[in-house]
Amino acid sequence: MRRSVFAVLALVAVSSSVACGSAPEALPSLGADGGPAPIGSEGPSPGASTSDGGALPGREPAPSAPAPKADQITEQFGVFVAKDGAAQNPGTRKSPLASITEAIAKAKSDKKSVFVCEGTYEETLEIANGVSIIGGFDCSAPEWKQTNKKSLLDSAQSPAIHADKISTPTRIDGFDVKVPDATTPSGSSIAVIVLDSNALTFANGTITAGAGMKGDDGVEGEQLSLRLGWPAELGTEWGAAPSPPPGHRLGGGGQIGQCVRSDGFIFADMRGGFGCSSGTYTRVSTNVPWTLMEAPRPGANPTYATRAVQGTDGTSGSAGNFVDEGFVPADGTAGTSGSVGMGGWGGFSNDLPPRYTEVYGYAYGAARAGGGVGGCPGLSGTAGKGGGASIGILSLRSQLRLDTVTTVSASGGAGGKGTFGSRESNGTAGASDGAAQMYSKAGEPGGRAGVSGNGAGGPSIAIAHQGGAPVLTQSKTEAGAGGAGVEARSSGTRTLPASAEGESVGVKAL
């Protein structure tokens, strides 16, 4: 459903020096070289624009460039363009050029306007300061005549018209301007971009943008699998030792494991902690306390000896930004991945051999079991991308005049879905055989992946402006639907917040 805004502004009295049709016809003004100045290039009123053409806040734009009079449709004032023209032609009514772009270049150097025959022109135009472009002429006779028909500027890309630093009154009249739908993900369709200009008028035509394109969905994080190798080893009970003891009894080795991607890539090699080795003891007879000869030694730490870091969550998109080149979509932001879970520690103790036993001489204490491995982390996915915009006119640091112009935007692009990230896995238990386990620990779970946000929908805005509001005379705007945002979703304990829907506005101040 389109929204339509119709604006009619009362005409404001201006001095006779710039009035159109209300004073006796003046002689043509002269250019700097003594030749005829382009139509409408008499210049803005003092103080109407900055030196670089930019609009001044709170001021009216420069006076509108007037439409050409019938007796000005001559080679003295203009360069002529027709569909059956040719590049080598001089740009006269008898021998017109075929390209508006070529005509602009010639008119700029000759200080003239451009007159365009009705028809379709598949071009993208860069407007030159002071070079008005008038379309819709009937060129079937030697004397070209203005009609109510339009010339169609059907550009294959966005924008169809680009204007920068237009400080001398310049008029684009009698054109239907159209750009296609965006064709790349998150792409925008913008019919006209105007920068730092205070003296540009569009008249008697339509300006139509195509649809913005949907943003890409995010890609889920790679799911890691915990592949187990050699299991955690058991410890040993105390027992008699040879004389003299050759050393410690080693504790059990930790579990061996790997976090592996689906393509076989090893993301992490892990091993649980080793169990504590035994101490050695001696006594000269039974029923007397054992004397420590060499203390138990701690086993090696697990490969990952610190607790897993939990991933941080990204955010969903809210609103994009406008820049000189166009629209920057509101992408979601990516979450971060978790880290490998802490491995289990091997068992540890300094238990003595039992006192009341027939064993004496030398003995080993108990050696402890190895620990488990930590779990694999969850890996974050990528965020959803924002949808592209549909903008009829993007006017930055500028103020325009629109006289009998309909400006239309189509639908904004939908936002792309974000991702939850892959699941973390639990660690494994340490070795266990009852008393021989003696405090060996299981590995802890891997860190959780943070969610990556959804992209926001792209806006549909007929006229987006930064600077003074455009002056609309008998002109209207029609905005299409804003691009859909992405609803909130949950998976287990994780929630992906909703992203914003693109707005639908006829005229929007940025």
Position 437 in a domain: no
Which pLDDT belongs to residue 435? 54
Which pLDDT does position 211 carry in this prediction?
Answer: 98
The yes-or-no verdict on residue 276 having pLDDT over 60 is: yes
Whether the pLDDT of residue 506 is over 50: the answer is yes
- Strand 113-117 and strand 78-81: the pairing is parallel
Model pLDDT, residue 366: 87
State which H helix or E strand residue 101 sits in: helix 100-110
Residue 508 has pLDDT above 60, yes or no: yes
Q: Which residue in 126, 132, 133 sits closest to 195, CA to CA?
A: 126
Q: Flag whether pLDDT at 256 surpasses 90.
A: yes
Assigned domain for 398 exists: yes
Highest mean pLDDT among 33-37, 161-165, 275-279, 351-355: 161-165
For the stretch 168-204, what's the b/e string if a residue is b when 16 or more beta carbons lie within 10 angstroms of its beta carbon? bbbbbbbbbbbbebbeebbbbbbbbbbbbbbbbbbbb
Closest CA to 255 of 431, 445, 446, 444: 431
Look at residue 194 and tell me if it is in a domain: yes
Report yes or no on 274 lying in a domain. no
pLDDT score recorded for residue 62: 78
| pLDDT level of residue 355 (50, 70, 90 thresholds) | confident
Which band of pLDDT confidence, cut at 50, 70 and 90, is reported for residue 371? very high
The predicted pLDDT at position 5 comes to 38
| Residue 109 dihedral angles phi and psi, to the nearest 5° | -70, -30
3-state SS class at 202: strand
247-251, 437-441, 443-447 — which is least confidently predicted?
437-441
In a domain, 226, yes or no: no
Binned at pLDDT 50, 70 and 90, residue 102 comes out as: very high
Sign of CA dihedral 192, 505, 5, 508: negative
Number of folded domains that form the chain? 1
What's the pLDDT score for residue 43?
39
- Cα–Cα distance list, 36 to 27, 77, 82 (Å): 10, 7, 23
Q: Among residues of the chain, what percentage have pLDDT more than 90?
A: 74
Determine the structural domain holding residue 130 and report its residue range.
3-10+28-216+385-416+455-509
Helix (H) or strand (E) holding 108: helix 100-110
Whether the pLDDT of residue 350 is over 70: the answer is no
Residue 435 domain flag: no
Average pLDDT of the chain, as a whole number? 88
Give 438's pLDDT tier (boundaries 50, 70, 90). low
Q: CA–CA separation, 309 vs 337, rounded Å?
A: 9
CB hemisphere CA count around 115 (13 angstroms): 30
Report pLDDT for 25. Answer: 33
Say yes or no to pLDDT of 41 above 50: no
212 and 241 Cβ atoms separated by less than 8 Å: no
Count Cβ atoms below 10 Å from residue 24 Cβ, excluding itself. Answer: 5
Q: Considering the domain boundaries, does residue 493 fall inside one? A: yes
Using one digit for the tens of pLDDT, what is the confidence trace for 119-165? Answer: 999 999 999 999 999 999 999 999 999 999 999 999 999 999 999 99
350 within domain boundaries? no
